[in-house]
Structure 1
Amino acid sequence: MTTLRRVLTWREGAGMTIAGVLGSGILILPTLTAQLAGPAAIIAWLVMTLMAIPMAKTFGKLAIYRPDAGGIASYARLAFGPKAGKIVGILYLGTVPVAAPAAALIGAGYLGALCHWSPADVVFVAAGLLATALLVNYFGIQFSGWAATAVVVAISGLLLIAVLSALPHVSARAFVPFLPHGWWPVGESVALLYWAFVGWEMIGHLSEEFINPVRDIPRALMVAVAVVGILYLAVSSVSIGTMAYHMQSHGAGLSVLIGMELGRVGAIITAVIALLITYGTMHTYIAGFSRLVYAQARTGDLPRFFAHLHPIRRTPARVFAALLLPDAVVLGSVLVFHTSLAQLIAWPSAVFIVLYLVAMLAAWRLLPGFSARLLALLGALISALALIFVGWAMILPIALAFLGWWLKVPRVEKAIPPEEIA
């Protein structure tokens, strides 16, 4: 009998959640949102930080209610039937295979700017980051959790250095005029910031591997919400207050913040932060995505080939191997066709918003109690409002949903029980 191993505590759970949420967005989105909405971008950051609370709590309640590696796909299946589970599984195929290479490119781009590398060198380093994340995840979830926690501690310390070094340069004049472009760009910023606030759902994919999910999942999410919210608001506030977003057009505002006081040393610190953050993001994305594919294959929604765990590591090793192909395609498109990071971020962000909407609606239908359903309804409204500002990127989730609807769903009784998977 080969099953997922129950070894996670709230500490590893918090580390992996923070690593997943506190992603590459913090490297570029404080600058991009400020360029889009001016000082009013801080409203978008505050709104998303506050709105993360009901969404994180809802995902925690769902993970306890249904501790299944399928995550949102399992919740949708339970709430709306097998077809919904299939559609969600297909939707997920449009997220991590694009989002993980995009995160790797952001981190490698920071290091490339410091070392004056060519675009090809940046892509090569991004490939190395992806390969490392796949390899570490291969060695097991406990080792993966320890690695994520260590990365989060290092990131938090370095980001605090960035904020403190920039504080002497913050000016009240930087916040005037507060709404230079009106309110619409603030809404667009909220939609864009979904990239920075996705990751709460990963706790569901890992829920089968917690020693005590009822106790540890809420603890992990509480710590994660607090750490992520404080760091995001601090970095975005000083980015606006120092007008760092005016100083570089390519979005590397964090390097400007640290460089204000620390010069060349600050540039090195920035590169280290970028590599750690992007690695942490990919690390958690890949861990959660691999469990999703494994769970979907276990129910028959994806090829049974992936319903297999390594007999010793108890990891979905075949999923890690399969991710090499889309990673290579995305990185190759950047190298050959010069695909922009903005494009790579926009498409999976649109899919994530739809997935969160489905998860909140499933929670509203499944979870008992008025307060739980109210939180789920609030999360659904937030996601629905964000969809208004997605634009053309909405084509991808629509196309994937249609594909999931069109594909034949196997009969439920053909699903493979976990204890029979070798």
Structure 2
Amino acid sequence: MGLIKLREPSLKRSITWVQGTALTIGAVLGCGILVLPSITANNAGPASLLSWAIMSLLAFPIVLTIAYLAKIIPSAGGITAYVGHAFGTRTSTILSWIMLGSIPVGVPTIALTGAYYLNNLLPTNRWGTVCIAALILLTSLLLHVRGIDLSAKVSVAVICVIFTLLVTAVIVAFPHVKSSSFMPFVPHGWFSVGSASVVIFFSFVGWEMIPPLAEEFKRPERDITISLIIGAIVVSVLYLSISFVTVGTQAYGANKGVSSLSLLISKGWGRIGTVTTTLLALFITFSTVHANLAGFSRMVYAQARDGHFPRILAKIHPKYRTPISVLFVLGVIFTLILFIYGTVRPNLETLLKGPSVVFITSYIFTMLAALKIIRPLTVGWFMALISLLITVIILFFSGWAILYPLALAIIGGVYLFRTKIGGRL
């Protein structure tokens, strides 16, 4: 297992736009659809629908900007490559260190939500939930060692089933929607709408995990854009629909937990609906975990390959040509996060808020880079400007969580200084 330093694409090109769309939906659709409609309704009441609408609208300029950047800079480095192209490798390295606080924390949280859903079918204790989450993560890591070909094909079938289930959830719950459920509309004040948006933002991240797969798309200059746009449309419609029936049927509250999707299906199908939803929720969770690990592992690998992370992370499997060192380190981090959850048991919203602010910060970096790379006053340039303005506004509602990416940036700066990378870049 030697150190591989490649400047040209070395991964097999096998992903089509259909598979890319499935991976896109899988990367984004997951934890949000499982628990956040009820969490945000608890915090903001019916006004949480405004938060979902705002985030849905924000998704499109972000997606269009990322798609444009991926077309002109098809790199496994993803958004870190775009920032590096615009502002240099020092800034790219800092962003890379900030991004280390996203997937390593966010993915175990996603796995925990899927495991939590299983409690509706097979009640277990805290450590039982941790073990289920660990199994989900381990399965994904082992499959990634073998490559992404099989998972891309399976994702198409899985996403079709998930889409059918979610549409069914809306249909069976809609007759139970009551207009009185939307009053009062803003029970916790307008600030709660902004605060909920920060948490919801986590449901609309994952787009940046697709461009790092550019070296594995058959036609990245076309297929990445198609995959991102179709994915954004599907995800936005599903989120808004599920959120609407969650509030309209009052499938939330302190005595109902956070598993709003099971409650919605059970309104029409009873116990059978709950069993079906629970099992498919595990597929949703796995799909999200798997897609995010695919993009993130390659992003870290590309940065290590270029010398911005420790060189050990640039090692790839000699047979399967997958980023084996990155996957191993992620496994260690996932174990630590799950142990902390099992021991301390922080609530899911707390675990999600830090990675959410990291994604917000990374999008700000990306949009600033886009404004410099894209020709001024074009459609793409205006998309980047709109995305930048909205993400900056959302950042102001982050509260204490803003310290999280700041701390990661400081660590990255220290790494640059200690290794004297700054002087060589």
TM range (shorter): over 0.9
* 1:194 counterpart letter in structure 2: F
**What residue is the counterpart of 1:395 in the other structure?**
403
**What residue is the counterpart of 2:383 in the other structure?**
375
Q: What does residue range 227-376 of structure 1 map to in structure 2 within 5 Å?
A: 227-246=234-253, 248-368=255-375, 370-376=378-384
Q: How many residue pairs align between the two structures?
A: 415
Alignment partner of 1:127 is 2:140: no
Asked if structure 2 preserves the Cα contact closer than 8 Å seen for 1:63 and 1:203, the reply is no
For structure 1, which runs of at least 5 residues remain unmatched after alignment?
A: 416-422
Q: 2:97 aligns with which of 65, 90, 109?
A: 90
Asked if structure 2 preserves the Cα contact closer than 8 Å seen for 1:172 and 1:241, the reply is yes
* 2:167 counterpart letter in structure 1: L
Asked if structure 2 preserves the Cα contact closer than 8 Å seen for 1:101 and 1:327, the reply is yes
Larger CA deviation: 270-279 vs 143-152: 143-152
* 1:70 counterpart letter in structure 2: G
How far did 1:134 drift? Answer: 0.9
Q: 1:65 to 1:155 in 2, by over 3 A?
A: same
Note the alpha carbon deviations across 1:148-184, whole angstroms, 9 max, x for none: 2222112111111211110110112211222222211
**What residue is the counterpart of 1:38 in the other structure?**
45
Note the alpha carbon deviations across 1:277-323, whole angstroms, 9 max, x for none: 11111101111111011101111001222223223322112211111
- Structure 1: how far apart are the matches of 2:44 and 2:350? 19
- Structure 1: how far apart are the matches of 2:424 and 2:161? 46
Asked if structure 2 preserves the Cα contact closer than 8 Å seen for 1:14 and 1:221, the reply is yes
RMSD, matched Cα: 1.8
> Matched residue of 1:68: which SS?
coil
Alignment partner of 1:196 is 2:196: no
Note the alpha carbon deviations across 1:107-161, whole angstroms, 9 max, x for none: 0011023211111111101000001111222221222211322221121111112
Asked if structure 2 preserves the Cα contact closer than 8 Å seen for 1:59 and 1:203, the reply is no
Asked if structure 2 preserves the Cα contact closer than 8 Å seen for 1:106 and 1:274, the reply is no
Q: TM-score, normalised by structure 2?
A: 0.94
Q: 1:261 to 1:298 in 2, by over 3 A?
A: same
> Matched residue of 1:114: which SS?
coil
Q: 1:41 to 1:301 in 2, by over 3 A?
A: same
Runs of 4+ in 1 over 4 A off after TM superposition: 409-415
Q: TM-score, normalised by structure 1?
A: 0.94
Larger CA deviation: 174-183 vs 226-235: 174-183
* 1:156 counterpart letter in structure 2: F
Asked if structure 2 preserves the Cα contact closer than 8 Å seen for 1:300 and 1:414, the reply is no
Alignment partner of 1:170 is 2:181: no
> Matched residue of 2:252: which SS?
helix
Q: Percent identity?
A: 41
> Matched residue of 1:246: which SS?
coil
